[in-house]
Structure 1
């Protein structure tokens, strides 16, 4: 199994509070990896550390066997990492079309995965509902065709049928050879084909394995 990215003995502090306590997380290349856990478990912090949005206080972040621990988030983005946070991921003063960029209207990604956006192209993002803004942020990231796609609770505010369509597309992206890492409170049934599940609890790894090995209590 080829590893796309890893957090090794990773620690993250917010002032006096340590949010990650030396976690080891591996994300296989060309697969979907899911981080699950309750609020405060450290899922978001782990994703932010992977994306370079927060610095490590100890440990390392590896991407394609390269130590990128000191690499700024914008430089990771230029190398092919796309990170979609759970909130505030769009430019509110711009239209949907401007958020997505030139050519988006004709792109198959929009038509097939996010058809709900097509009638909204001329609206400013700040006028959209939370779920619609989430679709814009997800679509913008996926249109970049990133090598590593990192998503924090991407199903927040979305209707179940939209979530199922999104998860199906994420699994297809992995089959195309790209890598997806996402956070969720529990493992969705529609991501049962994910490659790896990591369960975080109070900043530590409580379980790592395949979805079929996940303890029933999770």
Structure 2
């Protein structure tokens, strides 16, 4: 399968500690890729490195065949990458409507995927619960129609029915040719149709393959 983006022999350091130990991760075009592992496994660091939020101390990041290792996050965003971190992804002083933009009311992202937001449009984001803020952050990223969507534990704080709707939308995006990469502690049942699963353990890749090949212990 063709690859949208890659981390090659990627290493990331936080001061004296190395969080990624030379990982190779490939994210295929038009597929959902899930990074799974326990807390501290390196999932979040890998996503931040892909998005350009943290620099690599060694190795390379490739996107669409181009070496973007030194490209800052804002320039990757301009090229079509949308990154939703696990926390602090909304503008608290703005209303939900202002966070999402003028086209949100009529969008399928709101009407079909996150209808819960319709009643919240006039509220400032800082007054919302953690789960509601997560909906706003996810919806804003989906509204951008990104070429590469990177999500760090997107189901955190969300009800199971909302998570199922989100996962259906992500799989539909992949079917349209977009690439989705997300982190989770385990593979959600509603993402059984994901293209690739990478298991990280203590900053190293423990497994890469299709969901059906995933060891039962994972």
TM-score in same-fold range (> 0.5): yes
Question: What are structure 2's unaligned runs of at least 5 residues?
Answer: none
Query: Counterpart of 1:133?
Result: 133
Distance in structure 2 (CA, Å) of the matches to 1:183 and 1:41: 11
Query: Counterpart of 1:80?
Result: 80
The CA deviation string for residues 81-101 of structure 1, in whole angstroms up to 9 with x for no partner, is 000000000000000000001
Distance in structure 2 (CA, Å) of the matches to 1:166 and 1:48: 21
Query: Counterpart of 2:149?
Result: 149
Question: What are structure 1's unaligned runs of at least 5 residues?
Answer: none
**2:134 paired with 1:113:** no
The ranges of structure 1 where at least 4 consecutive aligned residues each deviate by more than 6 angstroms after the TM superposition are: none
- Normalised to the residue count of structure 2, the TM-score between the two structures is 1.00
Query: Counterpart of 2:197?
Result: 197
The CA deviation string for residues 93-149 of structure 1, in whole angstroms up to 9 with x for no partner, is 000000001111111221010100001000000000000000000000000000000
- Normalised to the residue count of structure 1, the TM-score between the two structures is 1.00
Query: Counterpart of 1:54?
Result: 54
Deviation at 1:69, TM superposition (A): 0.3
Number of residue pairs matched?
Answer: 218
- Alpha-carbon RMSD: 0.4
Distance in structure 2 (CA, Å) of the matches to 1:144 and 1:211: 28
**2:120 paired with 1:123:** no
Distance in structure 2 (CA, Å) of the matches to 1:159 and 1:22: 36
Query: Counterpart of 1:171?
Result: 171
Distance in structure 1 (CA, Å) of the matches to 2:71 and 2:147: 17
